[in-house]
Chains A and B, each alone.
Chain A
């Protein structure tokens, strides 16, 4: 076991493994990062990259919200963007960048890459080169999106629906953006493939399937969707590109093609993709709830299996995006019925989280505040989803702000909240530093307030008939729009505080202990930050949620396990 020999004096504090050589300083120089095969560095690069994309997508969101603060004509009229066409580009780019560049890779590729092998107790993912290749593909895909921005802007909405995408004003922008999404799809496929193989073939002795932490179950279910659904997105976008470039007549109605067929193709991927977005989020929350309730997670197998169930059910409900698209009545009815099935495993998870907290010793640390925010937001998003899955109500609510609010509650409330929760949870491990709890919790609450202020009024707007994607609106909708815009800026303040807090922690944060939260999953059994090969020696695998034995050690602001510490000390001497 590593002990620090500094000037002949052995410095050792239990619970803080001094690690001279860690993954951050193992080698130096930009190239040692850009071409690294270390999953941890790839995870960190992904984190930086997706946050940059998030910032760009957020900029477009603010442009949209600011524009919508007031109608374009009448008293107090206000028009910030030069034209409706520019507005179309703003929301299209916001959606496409957020979905393809941020939400989908955020948890699996960024946090998952960092955490998965360590949590599993192995040195790396099964195919480190493929992992790096995924990241390079992400960069290439992002470059295509920037190209779309530069060549006239995308104005089709993030879904690239035909015939808009065949008629939109800029051929090069549509082709650049779809090529970008195509490339990003392969980045996502390779990440998923890598994770499945790692989880199947690399599990060390003792790490049976049902000893795997729930985060890994979530990533596994996600990876299954990535591998099965994303290729269909690939071929869809490829066909769209050749349709636009060569007029082949598969989707273009003027050539006899069926534009609704594009929607089938698109949603066969994109509905399961909603679970690519939310399953890893649920998985993070499953980690956080147990740890910060200081209790063994309730219903481990149900949570694990419900992830797999959601992944599979998710493939059979795509038509609920097409109730008003000219889909046949039979298909709509079948899809509406199937849609409700997804509610069952989702509710099983919520039940188990709540039951885990029941009579727990809840520690309201920053990650836990995000986890609770997640449950609140995901519940609102999920329940409003039932309204929309109901055929008759959806006819009224389709393409209104109700939909906008619903999917923001699911995607932002789900993915972003879980991502931030996970980022704060693993931050000590990633950076080796502790951030300010006070700032962290405050930022989280401000963001939660801002988010609800932004999107809750949109449910009202939608149910009163405000259509989505409109550049202008009637004065009667203004009050809700104003609240929504104010909320967006409050959310911005919260997120800026988050960034400030994390950046400051790197500059002057305290050294993180090995196990700041008292969790029993394996990533807390190596130093913070972990060494290049993750573990100095193979950790023993037990029940990942057996956290009763940990006690708080104030001198290090972290947790130690007296029985284990004794063993280690004995081994050291």
Chain B
């Protein structure tokens, strides 16, 4: 690729089509509007690629959640709604300042633009700070992504702070499950009913025997006469006839476990709502509920397989988002510096607009990440 004809003095041929160009207008554009439009289309196309980039993670998320809902339900107790919501607000504030900065740049007010961009960066650092508190908690408790998932048993779901909440939650879950069982597996339901009735009866008989006992004359269950037995049994059945109204999923005002507990330091959890256990059940039904609650609790204690994947997905999504926040800080910092130098004017403010668009997209992705990761039922 060497030279063709030797150019005697042609090294700097003046292209004098430059002279009517303002300094901020690149040589290959005709006017400011064309330059602005080109940049704007460019940044929009870039945002398109960003959306498709994140779509892979949303796809992985959807498939995992669809395959293993129990993993998501179980795991989201480890995320703090409080921090998540706070971060959402921080990002929204930063979006406001970024959009405002575009306005001031359009009006040519470089001082205000720099100030607003500075506030945006401040919020971005705030976001990262909160995120690092959350991440720190995760790693401290061994719930990191992938091979960093090595949770210490005492930090798994049942802890002192959240146990009461969980019991209420388990009661609620038990009610739903029993209703489902009654509808779909009546034979199983009947078996559980009889088992529970036996259990209640045994307890009642033992209580009866204890009430009839005196110091000198202990009465055991075996000593009870058939008539007494029949009376106790009758009382239980009468109670059931009077108070047994079956299980109805979500019939009562629902109790639900408030977002999150324990690990990241917010202890707003304990104020559990009224539990559906308030509804008067017959003794047999209470026994059934108790049994089922135990099952639910034991399932929580035995954490489902693949919980690590939830944390992997959580870290992948928030981590990639976090990287975008860092990139945003750099980009906004660069534009802020230019604003401080007074480079923007009503004919040339594209850079502020483009960076703000990018920043809004980062916010937009978080708007979806927050409910998908922190607010799972």
Q: How far is the CA of A128 from the CA of B29 in the complex (A)?
A: 11
Q: Is A499 an interface residue (CB 8 A)?
A: no
A228 close to B4 (CB less than 8 A): no
B63 close to A246 (CB less than 8 A): no
Q: Is B298 an interface residue (CB 8 A)?
A: no
Q: How far is the CA of A239 from the CA of B320 in the complex (A)?
A: 11
**Closest partner residue, chain A, to B309 (CB atom):** A249
Most buried by A among B3, B5, B15, B41: B5
CB distance from B42 to the nearest CB of A (A): 5
Q: Is B27 an interface residue (CB 8 A)?
A: yes
Collect the chain B residues with CB atoms within 8 Å of residue A128's CB.
26, 28
CB distance from A514 to the nearest CB of B (A): 13
Q: Is B159 an interface residue (CB 8 A)?
A: no
How many residue pairs between the two chains, A and B, have CB atoms under 8 Å in the bound complex?
Answer: 145
Collect the chain A residues with CB atoms within 8 Å of residue B183's CB.
none
Q: How far is the CA of A533 from the CA of B2 in the complex (A)?
A: 19
CB distance from B235 to the nearest CB of A (A): 51
Collect the chain A residues with CB atoms within 8 Å of residue B316's CB.
239, 242, 248, 250
Collect the chain B residues with CB atoms within 8 Å of residue A28's CB.
11
Q: How far is the CA of A256 from the CA of B37 in the complex (A)?
A: 47
Q: Which of B259-289 contact A (CB under 8 A)?
A: none
Q: How far is the CA of A142 from the CA of B222 in the complex (A)?
A: 87
Q: How far is the CA of A231 from the CA of B324 in the complex (A)?
A: 15
Known A124-B28, A200-B41; judge A255-B309 contact (CB<8 A): yes
Q: Is the interface of B mostly helix, strand, loop or mixed?
A: helix
CB distance from A248 to the nearest CB of B (A): 3
B42 close to A197 (CB less than 8 A): yes
Instruction: Among A228, A246, A431, A529, point to the contact of B145 (Cβ < 8 A).
Output: A246
Collect the chain A residues with CB atoms within 8 Å of residue B22's CB.
none
Q: Is B139 an interface residue (CB 8 A)?
A: no
Instruction: Among B10, B37, B41, B56, point to the contact of A235 (Cβ < 8 A).
Output: B56
CB distance from B67 to the nearest CB of A (A): 8
Q: Which of A479-494 contact B (CB under 8 A)?
A: none
Q: Is A234 an interface residue (CB 8 A)?
A: yes
Q: Is A122 an interface residue (CB 8 A)?
A: yes
Q: Is A27 an interface residue (CB 8 A)?
A: yes
Q: How far is the CA of A28 from the CA of B313 in the complex (A)?
A: 51
Q: Which of A21-44 contact B (CB under 8 A)?
A: 21-22, 24-28, 44
Q: How far is the CA of A451 from the CA of B1 in the complex (A)?
A: 29
B41 close to A532 (CB less than 8 A): no
Known A25-B10, A26-B11; judge A247-B52 contact (CB<8 A): no
A123 close to B28 (CB less than 8 A): yes
Collect the chain B residues with CB atoms within 8 Å of residue A532's CB.
13, 15
Number of residues of chain B lying within 8 A (CB) of chain A: 51
B1 close to A239 (CB less than 8 A): no
Q: Is A236 an interface residue (CB 8 A)?
A: yes
Q: How far is the CA of A20 from the CA of B9 in the complex (A)?
A: 9
CB distance from A544 to the nearest CB of B (A): 21
Collect the chain A residues with CB atoms within 8 Å of residue B26's CB.
128
Q: How far is the CA of A444 from the CA of B320 in the complex (A)?
A: 48
Q: Is B54 an interface residue (CB 8 A)?
A: yes
User: What mask results when residues 37 to 77 of chain B are scored 1 for a CB within 8 Å of chain A, else 0?
Assistant: 11001100110111111111101100110001000000000
CB distance from A183 to the nearest CB of B (A): 14
Number of residues of chain A lying within 8 A (CB) of chain B: 59
User: What mask results when residues 420 to 433 of chain A are scored 1 for a CB within 8 Å of chain B, else 0?
Assistant: 00000000000111
Give the segment of A90-98, A102-110, A257-265, A394-402 that binds chain B.
A257-265
**Closest partner residue, chain B, to A258 (CB atom):** B63
**Closest partner residue, chain B, to A204 (CB atom):** B30
Q: Is B213 an interface residue (CB 8 A)?
A: no
Q: Is B34 an interface residue (CB 8 A)?
A: yes
User: What mask results when residues 170 to 214 of chain A are scored 1 for a CB within 8 Å of chain B, else 0?
Assistant: 000000000000000000010001101110111000000000000
Q: How far is the CA of A228 from the CA of B8 in the complex (A)?
A: 48
Q: How far is the CA of A265 from the CA of B147 in the complex (A)?
A: 23
A265 close to B8 (CB less than 8 A): no
B46 close to A193 (CB less than 8 A): yes
Collect the chain A residues with CB atoms within 8 Å of residue B51's CB.
231
User: What mask results when residues 18 to 31 of chain B are scored 1 for a CB within 8 Å of chain A, else 0?
Assistant: 00000000111100
Collect the chain B residues with CB atoms within 8 Å of residue A529's CB.
4
CB distance from B43 to the nearest CB of A (A): 9
A230 close to B59 (CB less than 8 A): no
**Closest partner residue, chain B, to A128 (CB atom):** B28
Collect the chain B residues with CB atoms within 8 Å of residue A258's CB.
63
Q: Is B186 an interface residue (CB 8 A)?
A: no
Q: Is A227 an interface residue (CB 8 A)?
A: yes
A231 close to B49 (CB less than 8 A): yes
Q: How far is the CA of A227 from the CA of B305 in the complex (A)?
A: 38
B54 close to A235 (CB less than 8 A): yes
9 contacts between A and B (CB under 8 A): A25-B5, A122-B28, A128-B28, A197-B38, A202-B34, A202-B38, A232-B53, A250-B312, A255-B306
